[in-house]
Structure 1
Amino acid sequence: MQYRRVGSSGLKVSAIGLGSWLTYGTAQEQKAANACIQKAFESGINFFDTANAYNRGAGEEAIGLALKPYDRTSYVLSTKVFFPMGDGPNDRGLSRKHIMEQCEASLRRLGVDYIDLYYCHRYDEETPTEETLRAFDDLITQGKILYGGISEWSAAQINEAAATQEKYNLHKIISNQPIYNMFERYIEDEVVPVSEQAGIGQIVFSPLAQGILTGKYKPGAQLPQGSRAANQEVNGIINSYLKEDVLKCVQQLNDLANKLDLSLAQLSLAWVLRLPNVSSALIGASKPEQIEENIRAVDVVLSQEVIEEIEQILDSVKGFAPLR
């Protein structure tokens, strides 16, 4: 396994991390979570990501139970705060009240004394950034979290956070968690340059575009039984990828991967990890063998020629925008 620093911090995470969105506590059983986390540890993965909003806390509980047998110092654990966790007016967002209460709730659900990396799950237009960052700073001082992060913040919002931290001498945000894959590349133009300047590393989610970049979905073919797209409970986002031009593009990428003696998933992950600012790519796995396949991507170095060939293939879907 390869380990990378998160931004300019001293924290090191495995280049492939294991996420739990739409996987543990929702569509899959606890048994699958335990098996996948065991395989992840055996493979050198030390980074595990969840969020309080994943099935209203069930995702955190599943991850916490699966991690219980392992030494707490042996892994890096991240979770998040922002989305509604109740029906009250203060049960959402990034107010000091919601952050402090949800951090305590996450610690209980996870069964740990501290969270390594705590994320603002989205930007809160209704709360001053200073209030949010001071709450995170206090949690770090209290030892309840070790580092702060943000998720899906714009370049302007990252700049605002960096300036606020500088002005008030607050602990620095070390990570941004955006979506990033061959089809969704908005971070390349502004977010990555601004993050590099602020010492923030990207820990990206959906590097395989909800499973589209595994090659399992074919143009004009029926959805594979048991796949995420076939699951009516969790298929909302993936369905926006299921377009003829996207699937044809995936076929071309799969042909290129075969030529390189790689799986499409390995090619796609290696492509994501080519950026120095990417600290880790979060995969979702319901079976241990998926982890075994995906981690091989860390040893793949794509030549400039291959990267250019990928760009030519992706050119046909440049205007693609998924429904969100």
Structure 2
Amino acid sequence: MPPHQIFGAGGIGTTAKSFTYTWDTPEKVSELLNLLQTLNITELDSAAAYPPGNPENTETLLGQARAVQKGFIVDSKIQAYPLDVTHLNDEGIEASTARTLELLGVDKVRIMYVHAPEPKTPVEETAAAFDRQFREGKFEKLGLCNYDAAGLAEYVAACEKHGFIKPSVYQGCYNALYRKSEDELVPFLRKHGMKYYVYSPLAGGFLTGKVTAAIDSGDESALHRTRWRGESTMDAYAQGFDKPALHDGIRKLKKVCEANGGISLTEVSMRWLMHHSVLGEGDGIIFGAKTLAQVEANVAEARNGPLEGEVLAAINGLWDDVKGAFGVGSGGSGKEGEQDKEEARVKI
């Protein structure tokens, strides 16, 4: 069985200077929810820190649109802003959990995540705080985001030592351009029965080819108010993916796609995740979109079935072409969490 799709709610809300958001009122959010229901997408991935630059606005709008009351499952993450404040102690976890439940208008959520590792707070203290919230009925499952394999092992060991609730879901960045997690982290997840929910299936839009196309054309205006250029630039994406080797990989893949019926890079990337990646039954793909048409297209294309022939070979080989740019196979550490930790708080 392939993984299932989850809508990334980080695109719900509004900010003054960052991305151009579509769903910035309860009415617009309701329209989005109605479409998702017709597509049988009933899970939403949220966070107290969403949207980037305006924490809590996403969950405020989801509550006003009565998402849970309409039948949606809303998963959330502990507040991660401001960055210089400790969030993963007992006080921070309790306050963030209570605020999320208040905004959503619910008594509990299905999954509550640690949004990103925080070195200021001892792991055992964090694990104890989440265990208390779990035993008080505030969430059903514990998830961790953006830990490397060593950090995840440390957290699980602390839970086993003290009898705390163990994480049953892991969330991290994974796509055809970024497959570091396959070597160490995924085997750990499988060993411990944890599901893998992946975000940035299109590498923040890089896998659509739009960033490469803008650079090649000499006109980067299409990247205005995106994570790639200007004041809305997100360093985790711009520094992580906007590299010559990755642009070359996109150009190479695009040529193969054009020679095989003109299938889009977006569709190839989504179908690869669904049918040819390490993901399987019970795992999830968190996708975003800025328009209703994009929502429909992302869902439909991912459900088109497995890839074949030259296209499959090309996208399977993409990682071998670019992994040196991430320090894999070229003297780098290859640890999964390094790309993810900053991206953790800003993804949509």
TM-score range, shorter chain: 0.7 to 0.9
Q: CA 1:111/1:243 → structure 2, altered by over 3 Å: closer, same or farther? A: same
1:57 maps to 56
Using the aligned pairs only, state the percent identity: 26
Instruction: Single out whichever of 142-151 and 260-269 deviates more from structure 2.
Output: 260-269
Q: What SS is found at the alignment partner of 1:119?
A: strand
Q: CA 1:220/1:299 → structure 2, altered by over 3 Å: closer, same or farther? A: closer
2:226 maps to 228
The C-alpha deviation readout for 1:205-253, integer Å capped at 9, x for no partner, is 1110111112223042223266625763432244333344423322332
Counterpart-to-counterpart distance in 2, 1:140 and 1:18 = 24
Structure-to-structure mapping, 1:21-40, within 5 angstroms: 21=10, 23-26=12-15, 27=19, 28=21, 29-31=23-25, 32-40=28-36
Give the alignment partner of residue 284 of structure 1, picking from 277, 284, 288.
Answer: 288
Counterpart-to-counterpart distance in 1, 2:238 and 2:154 = 34
The C-alpha deviation readout for 1:104-158, integer Å capped at 9, x for no partner, is 0111222222111110011222222222122222222222111110001111122
Q: What SS is found at the alignment partner of 2:317?
A: helix
Deviation at 1:191, TM superposition (A): 0.7
Structure-to-structure mapping, 1:10-89, within 5 angstroms: 15-21=4-10, 23-26=12-15, 27=19, 28=21, 29-31=23-25, 32-54=28-50, 55-66=54-65, 68=66, 71=69, 74-85=71-82
Q: CA 1:104/1:69 → structure 2, altered by over 3 Å: closer, same or farther? A: closer
- Specify every segment of 5 or more residues in structure 2 that has no aligned partner in the other structure, as ranges: 327-338, 343-348
Deviation at 1:199, TM superposition (A): 1.2
How many residue pairs were aligned? 308
Structure-to-structure mapping, 1:272-311, within 5 angstroms: 272-273=273-274, 274-276=277-279, 279-296=283-300, 297-303=302-308, 306-311=311-316
Q: Which amino acid aligns with 2:7?
A: L
1:216 maps to 210
Q: What SS is found at the alignment partner of 1:173?
A: coil
Note the aligned Cα RMSD (angstroms): 2.8
Q: Which amino acid aligns with 1:17?
A: I
Deviation at 1:261, TM superposition (A): 6.2
2:147 maps to 153
2:206 matches 1:193: no
Counterpart-to-counterpart distance in 1, 2:261 and 2:197 = 26
Counterpart-to-counterpart distance in 1, 2:35 and 2:81 = 32
- Deviating beyond 6 angstroms after TM superposition, the runs of 4 or more aligned structure 1 residues are none
Q: CA 1:234/1:225 → structure 2, altered by over 3 Å: closer, same or farther? A: closer
Asked if the contact 2:144/2:171 (under 8 Å) is kept, the reply is yes
1:133 maps to 127
Q: What SS is found at the alignment partner of 2:230?
A: coil
Name the TM-score, length of structure 2 as normaliser: 0.78
2:269 matches 1:268: yes
Counterpart-to-counterpart distance in 2, 1:247 and 1:86 = 32
Q: CA 1:166/1:225 → structure 2, altered by over 3 Å: closer, same or farther? A: closer
Deviation at 1:195, TM superposition (A): 0.9
Asked if the contact 2:9/2:58 (under 8 Å) is kept, the reply is yes
1:7 maps to none
2:250 maps to 250
Q: Which amino acid aligns with 2:324?
A: G
